């Protein structure tokens, strides 16, 4: 695994726990953790369960005993590492968004398609697809329980940047992160919308806003402590993204991604409305779905709560007795499970790099729309994406 930050901890949890709860066809061995600082990487490896450490990912790619590379670095290094890993014959799991630009993502998707011809697999980590509630919602929609999809509302709301004096981190710098709220959390809303509905976005219209234009620079960047210093630097990404999208079947979808919504900690919310009913999901209540069945008599209609904790629900049977809750970390175990099973079966896991490229092209279209005062803007579709269009409903 390359990267030892927040996502490193989450992915490590997934790799460590998945083989202990699921009967996997192959046994993942947590061999090497790669980070920039040797001491901190060693400490993280000891905490998370990695056997060895390195500060040189290129050296690790040359090793014959490494089969899988998991990339959890900032987006500016995804393309270089993933393309090199695929060329070295390593299966690759890459955290979302796939890259910082559509051009980088296109190169990654092309490299993945070429590597797949030799049996090398790749996947992008849109983990919220793998919650029992969201997977079950996808199944209900695919079974026709909502009828024709007419409207989607998706939003991902956080408030961790609402303090204007919070320091300038890499997530606020375009050259490191690619974009702000749009790519960091808006990408999840886009992917989950397409995953649930089976419909791709074809064009968008939106606006990006930077609410706080500059922030204190971390003193650590000058070799001091980790606190904020007296210097200030420019924020070069968006804090808020609002956009509308048109799905393939003509339905409209509205999106909001904000890291300034006070009181909303990790509120990924999506509501899908069709001709026969509606579904609603909120990540802050991750074990629940709200389901409205319009085919019932008028006297029985209304949203009802479905507690997605039965062994018949996706993934749940491997965990705890009926009614016991799952949390944020379980999605990463499900991700590891699905990835390993696909590698063992010799099949391409989903979401693919082509799927990740498509999401990046949606984000790119939103940026272009915002630069054109919110004009409707087409989502470019690369050949690597069009070859997989219509397969969005694949479970893994």
In the CATH hierarchy, which top-level class contains the domain 6-128?
Answer: alpha beta
User: Could you identify the residue written with the tokens 């806003």?
Assistant: 209
The pLDDT profile of the chain, 396 residues, written as one tens digit per residue, is 999 999 999 999 999 999 999 999 999 999 999 999 999 999 999 999 999 999 999 999 999 999 999 999 999 999 999 999 999 999 999 999 999 999 999 999 999 999 999 999 999 999 999 999 999 999 999 999 999 999 999 999 999 999 999 999 999 999 999 999 999 999 999 999 999 999 999 999 999 999 999 999 986 554 434 455 579 999 999 999 999 999 999 999 999 999 999 999 999 999 999 999 999 999 999 999 999 999 999 999 999 999 999 999 999 999 999 999 999 999 999 999 999 999 999 999 999 999 999 999 999 999 999 999 999 999 998 765 544 444 444 333
Please report the beta strands in the chain, taking only residues with DSSP state E, as ranges in sequence order: 32-34, 52-54, 68-71, 91-95, 122-125, 149-157, 201-209, 214-218, 228-234, 240-247, 252-258, 267-274, 277-282, 288-293, 304-307, 377-378
pTM, to two decimals: 0.93
Q: Which residues pair with residue 268 across a beta bridge?
A: 156
User: Could you identify the residue written with the tokens 């024709």?
Assistant: 148
Write the DSSP string, 310-368: STTSTTGGGSSSTT----TTHHHHHHHHHHHHHHHHT---SS-HHHHHHHHHHHHHHHH
In the CATH hierarchy, which top-level class contains the domain 132-285+287-326?
Answer: alpha beta
Whether residue 335 contacts residue 10, with contact meaning beta carbons closer than 8 Å, is answered with: no
Domain ranges of the chain: 6-128, 132-285+287-326
CA distance 387 to 133: 28
């Amino acid at each position: 695994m390359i990267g030892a930050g927040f996502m490193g901890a989450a992915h490590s949890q997934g790799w460590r726990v998945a083989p202990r709860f699921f009967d996997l066809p192959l046994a993942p061995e947590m061999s090497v953790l790669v980070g920039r600082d040797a001491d901190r990487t060693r400490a993280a490896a000891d905490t998370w369960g990695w056997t060895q450490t390195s500060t040189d990912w290129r050296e690790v790619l040359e090793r014959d005993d490494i089969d899988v590379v998991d990339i959890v670095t900032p987006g500016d290094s995804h393309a270089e590492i993933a393309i090199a890993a695929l060329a070295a014959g390593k299966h690759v799991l890459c955290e979302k968004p796939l890259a910082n630009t559509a051009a980088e993502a296109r190169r990654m998707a092309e490299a993945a398609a070429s590597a797949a011809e030799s049996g090398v697999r790749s996947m992008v980590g849109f983990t919220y697809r793998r919650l029992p509630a969201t997977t079950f919602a996808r199944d209900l929609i695919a079974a026709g329980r909502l009828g024709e999809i007419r409207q989607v509302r998706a939003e991902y709301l956080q408030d961790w940047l609402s303090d204007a004096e919070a320091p300038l981190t890499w997530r606020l710098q375009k050259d490191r992160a690619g974009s702000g709220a749009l790519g960091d959390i808006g990408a999840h809303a886009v992917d989950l919308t397409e995953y649930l509905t089976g419909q791709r976005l074809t064009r968008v219209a939106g606006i990006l806003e930077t609410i706080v234009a500059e922030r204190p620079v971390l003193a650590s960047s000058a070799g001091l402590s980790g606190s904020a210093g007296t210097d200030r630097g420019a924020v070069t990404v968006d804090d808020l993204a609002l956009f509308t999208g048109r799905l393939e079947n003509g339905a409209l979808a509205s999106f909001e991604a904000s890291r300034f919504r006070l009181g909303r900690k990790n509120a990924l919310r999506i509501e899908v409305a069709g001709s026969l009913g509606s579904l609603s999901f909120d990540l802050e209540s991750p074990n629940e779905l709200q389901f409205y069945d319009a085919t019932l008599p008028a006297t029985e209609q209304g949203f009802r709560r479905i507690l997605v904790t039965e062994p018949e629900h996706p993934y749940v049977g491997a965990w705890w007795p009926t009614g016991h809750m799952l949390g944020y970390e379980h999605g990463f175990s499900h991700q590891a499970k699905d990835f390993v099973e696909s590698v063992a079966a010799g099949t391409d896991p989903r979401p693919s790099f082509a799927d990740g490229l498509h999401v990046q092209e949606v984000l790119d279209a939103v940026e272009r729309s915002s630069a054109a005062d919110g004009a409707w803007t087409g989502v470019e579709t690369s050949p690597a994406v069009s070859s997989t269009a219509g397969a969005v409903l694949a479970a893994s």
